Amino acid sequence: MDALNFINGQWCHSTTGEWLAITNPATEEPLGRVVLSSVDDVDQAVQTAGRAYDVWRRVPVTERIQYLFRLKQLLEENFEDLARTITLECGKTLAEARGEIRRGIENVETACGMPLMMQGYNNEDIARGVDEHLYRQPLGVVVAITPFNFPLMIPLWFLPYAIASGNCFILKPSEKVPLSAVKLIEILHQTGLPAGVVQLVHGRKATVEALLDHPEVRAVSFVGSSTVAKYVYSRAAASGKRAQCQGGAKNPVVILPDADLEMTTKIVAEGAFGCAGQRCLATSIAVLVGSAQQPFSEAICDAAASRRVGYGLDADVEMGPVVSAESKQRIEQLIELGLGEGAAPRVNGKARRPNGHDRGSFVLPTVLDNVAPSGTLARTEIFGPVLSLLYADTIDEALGVINSSPYGNMACLFTTSGAAARRFRNESVVGNVGINIGVPAPMAFYPFSGWKESFFGDLHAQGRHAVEFYTQTKVVVERWHTAWSRKF
């Protein structure tokens, strides 16, 4: 299947004539090709969106959300086909792909509340005969640059809110997983959405830079590594654009001695190894406090060694491959780096392959023990199924490990102590906190928070933050003199 651009309501080739291969990461079989867009392709999409915006922004919000109601229904009808597509190009299991789609649909449902969410406010008689009003109006042409790990959910963090609030939207998905985005746009086209309101351009760095530099693009949403997030944020800001840029993470969990061992082990194993460790909120570090050290380390090693790894379309598989051979190589190099820094390989996924899979980008669950808190591995995002074990004597020491990290995406605590939980959620310097939760992914009506090097910007994805990001406020102060009104 060829992944084409979608511009002005039509599927079209790029003017470059260049393509990239799309490969199944579990089998290394070809899935198709994706076009690489030129600066001219980007300009055509933006200019088309600008013309569509002049009309779309005047469509009543109650009419705009009707397209989202239809989109929600079509996503439900195409649920299994979308899940299979995600598994084919991304590698995650069918169960994980289904969960991703469900989260995406929740954002569509939330954005259907736009008539309430973008309401302004007013005061009558703020001075004698003077009224004041605040209105929320759309920005114009907005762009989302999305990653490979959630090829459907993350575009839906942005798209529904952007168009429901009156903007025109351009999606630039990861070139590694373009087929899910193509199917999303095909489904959206079936709703009857006017041409130019949502468009799709594929490509790599040159395409991204063309979008960032285009003078008619008003706002940019991005999810990816911290290095690229900072670059995108800086370049967008230099062009006077709004930007919300979600970066990387090194997500820790803290396990206190009073935690329920069986429940905690199951939850942490899923947080560390689910989606092959390629979640924004994947657990990377487990800080074991006091007497929790021995029992939990033994239990998590058993869970890692016994996790069923294979092709995500096969029944009973719990973890698929990482997204590409390049990712596999990078993860394995980081495992070797950790071993070189003195970590002990309690479970070494680099040294094994899943049964029946001689090909594919598989890295099996890995547990590294005695990782140095100040070492390179403890401060580097691996983005793979690798869990590092660190040790602390007290919760104070564990909080010190968390708060000294350059990242601030997520931290979780496992305990039966309400006092410890209250202190943890108050003192941990991160944007998303879990208490006896391994992946504290916010519901669609809450923002997906991130702090420090994990986020660049002010307003996050989802919920009210999305509405504020995609609208600008206009304040009107007005007076109508009685003498004037008597003329009519």
What dihedral do alpha carbons 200, 205, 207, 212 form, nearest 10°? 100
Phi, psi torsion values for 217, nearest 5 degrees: -85, 125
* Cα→Cα distances 442→396, 426, 463, Å: 26, 17, 10
CB 344 within 8 A of CB 368: yes
CB 289 within 8 A of CB 393: yes
Q: Could you tell me the two tokens for 420?
A: 């410890």
Q: Could you tell me the two tokens for 390?
A: 């660190």
Query: How many C-beta atoms lie closer than 10 Å to residue 360's C-beta?
Result: 23
**Which among 346, 336, 391 has a CA at the least distance from the CA of 366?**
346
Phi, psi torsion values for 101, nearest 5 degrees: -65, -40
What dihedral do alpha carbons 86, 89, 94, 95 form, nearest 10°? -60
d(CA 394, CA 387): 21
d(CA 440, CA 434): 5
Between helix 61-77 and helix 155-164 the angle, nearest 10°, is 150
DSSP 379: G
> In 3-state terms, what secondary structure has residue 472?
strand
Q: Which member of 90, 280, 301, 412 is catalytic? A: 280
Q: Could you tell me the two tokens for 413?
A: 């605590």
Q: DSSP readout, 117-185?
A: HT--EEEEEEETTEEEEEEEEE-SEEEEE--SSSTTTTHHHHHHHHHHTT-EEEEE--TTSHHHHHHHH
Catalytic annotation present for 280: yes
Phi, psi torsion values for 415, nearest 5 degrees: -165, 165
The length of the chain, given as a count of residues: 488
Catalytic positions are 280
